[in-house]
Amino acid sequence: MTDPLTASVPAADLVRALGAAGQTVATAESLTAGLVAATIAGVPGASAVLRGGLVVYATDLKSSLAGVSADLLAAEGPVAASTAEQLAVGARTRCGADWGIGLTGVAGPDGQDGHAVGTVFLGLSSPWHTEVMRLQLSGDRWTIRLTATESAVRELLRCVQGG
């Protein structure tokens, strides 16, 4: 049986690209609660490139585990571009990876801190490149979480390939 998480996601392409570049990845995930790491791990050979992941669903864990500034969390909240950026940097540095993925957002069913359901911030970090993007996704909780996972894998693949 094929891993259902890898069915619609270019995770195998990401694992190949990271392997070819001699690079690794780690995640710090809030709304996806480990789905990105699990999706990458669904690819045979992923152990060569996946360092690990932090599930930081609770706001305090974003700070204590992933290193997001407590002052930033107090000022901007857990659903913010700056939080996603610091999650990505924290995943990379705390797990000793070349790339870090940070995801935070609102999967629903209700909005949070003035953010609509489907608002997601994706951070990608390497020692030479950091970027954050805001996604506005639609669907139920599962669809939003899965689409955020797909976006993270696709966007990191683009970065690894130099795009």
| CATH number, domain containing residue 48 | 3.90.950.20
* pLDDT tens-digit readout, 126-155: 999 899 999 999 999 999 999 999 999 999
- Is residue 163 assigned to a domain? no
Mean pLDDT of the chain: 96
Does 119 fall in a domain? Answer: yes
Residue pLDDT, tens place only, 75-125: 999 999 999 999 999 999 999 999 999 999 999 999 999 999 999 999 999
Q: Give the domain extent around 20.
A: 11-158
In a domain, 6, yes or no: no
Of 28, 9, 23, the residue nearest 91 (C-alpha): 28
Beta pairing class for 99-105 and 25-29: parallel
In the chain, the number of structural domains is 1
Which one, of 89, 85, 88, 103, lies nearest residue 144 by Cα?
103
Whether residue 4 is contained in a domain is answered as no
In a domain, 152, yes or no: yes
Residue 30 lies in a domain: yes
**Residue 18 resides in a domain:** yes
Please report where in the chains the tokens 């359901």 appear, as a residue: 117
pLDDT tens, residue by residue, 22-38? 999 999 999 999 999 99
Q: Which of 60, 63, 73, 53 is nearest to 149 (CA)?
A: 53
Show the tokens assigned to 11.
């995770």
Dmax over Cα atoms in the chain, in whole Å?
46
Query: Does residue 54 form part of some domain?
Result: yes
Q: What is the pTM of this model?
A: 0.97
